[in-house]
Structure formats: structure tokens, C-alpha cells
Amino acid sequence: MTQGLNLQQQIQQLSQQSAQDFYAQSIGSLKSQIQNYREQLEQYTEQLPEGDAKAQIEEMTDYYYELEGSIDQVAQEQGIQDQVNEAAQSTQQKIMDFAQGAAQQAQDTVGQAADQAGQVAGQVQDTAGQATQQVQDTAGQAVGQAQQVAGQAAGQAQQAAAGGDGAEEPRATHAARRRAEQLGIDLSTIQGTGSGGLITIRDVTGS
């Protein structure tokens, strides 16, 4: 009887570990995709002149920063932060490997007939479409959780900030700090409306 119970406990533990690993892998993949999107937006923003379009892109960048922070908060509360970071790094490496492989394949196929090149391009597009759909499906499930946890984290952060001595440097996104420097605004005078009191570009510009 004791052996039967021990076996049942082992099976239950293995099932829980498997579910946790899958959850961490999904969250890590999502985090990697969000980081890629945010980095692309930042690079694009640097090429834009000052104006409404640039401000809107910077607001989108702030939103991705908030999502990353929410994902980290979820991972920390679930005790899977290390697994999520490893999964994010693994996904990033896969993206780099895929890009290098695609570049090598393109070099290898130079000189082939135009119809063969068209077939390869179609296959790449199909693969990219499937990968994008998988990421969107995972994002739809994870973002809902991330937003709920972000709201809880914001309340906790505000309570902690109320009990502090005010000596710590204000938390702000990269885009918000840069805009504050351009406008000569002291971040300590701004109340952040982002996750956990995070100061965003919207808080700095007041729009």
C-alpha cells in the first residue's frame, strides 16, 4: 500500500513538473518575442524626427517594457524565473540560428533558377506564418495573466513607495528618461502611471 502511494506521489510530482516546465517555456518564448519587438521599435524610433509619430512609437515601446516587467513578476511569483529566462535565451538563440541558416541558404541558392527561388521563398513564408500564429496564441493566454499580476504589483509597489524615504531614483523607462533629459524635467517631480509606478513617455510629455 505504501509503495502504491509513493508511486502515485511520484507520478503527481512528475505531472506538476512537466506542466510547470511547459508554462515556463511558453512564458519565456513570449518574453523573447516581446524583447525583439521592443528593440525593433527602439531602433526605428531613433531614425524618426521629433513629432507625434515618434511619440506614439515611444509609447508603444513603453508598453512593451511594462509587459516585460509583468512577465518577470509572474515568473517570480510562480518561482520559475530561472526557467523563464533560460527559455527566453533559448528562443533568442533559435531566432538567431534561423536567421543565419536562412542567410546561408540564400547564399547557397544564388544562381539557381527563378522558379526554385520562388519555391524556397514560399516555404519560408509558410514557416514564418506558422511561427507567428503560435506566438500570437501563446501571447493571448499569457498577456491576460501578465496584466492581472501587473495590477497587483502596481498596488504593492505604490504601498512600498508610500513607506519609503524618497531617496531612491525614480523608476522610468528608457524612452521616458531620454525625453525628460531633452525637456529638462526632473523625474522625481513626476508621478508614474505605469506598472508599479513606472514613469512612461506619456507621463513626461503630459499627453
Please report whether residue 113 resides in a domain: no
CB-neighbour burial class of residue 160 (10 A; exposed 0-12, middle 13-18, buried 19+): exposed
pTM for the whole structure: 0.39
* Calculated CA dihedral for residues 39, 44, 45, 51, nearest 10 degrees: -150
Please report whether residue 59 resides in a domain: yes
Residue 106 has pLDDT above 70, yes or no: no
Higher pLDDT, 16 or 73: 73
User: Over the stretch 68-79, which tens digit does the pLDDT of each residue have?
Assistant: 888 888 888 878
Please report whether residue 109 resides in a domain: no
Provide the residue range defining the domain that includes 59: 2-99+130-205
Please report whether residue 30 resides in a domain: yes
Q: Looking at residue 199, what DSSP letter applies?
A: B
User: Over the stretch 26-63, which tens digit does the pLDDT of each residue have?
Assistant: 888 888 888 788 888 888 888 888 888 888 888 888 88
Please report whether residue 73 resides in a domain: yes
Helix (H, G, I), strand (E, B) or coil at 49: coil
Confidence at 164, pLDDT banded by 50, 70, 90:
very low
Higher pLDDT, 109 or 191: 191
Higher pLDDT, 60 or 20: 60
End-to-end CA distance of the chain: 68
For residues 79-102, average pLDDT:
74
Please report whether residue 76 resides in a domain: yes
Instruction: Supply angle C-alpha 196, 140, 129, rounded to 5.
Output: 130
Please report whether residue 104 resides in a domain: no
Please report whether residue 74 resides in a domain: yes
Rounded Cα distance, 41 and 188, in Å:
26
User: What is the predicted pLDDT for the residue at 186?
Assistant: 93
How many domains are there within the chain?
A: 1
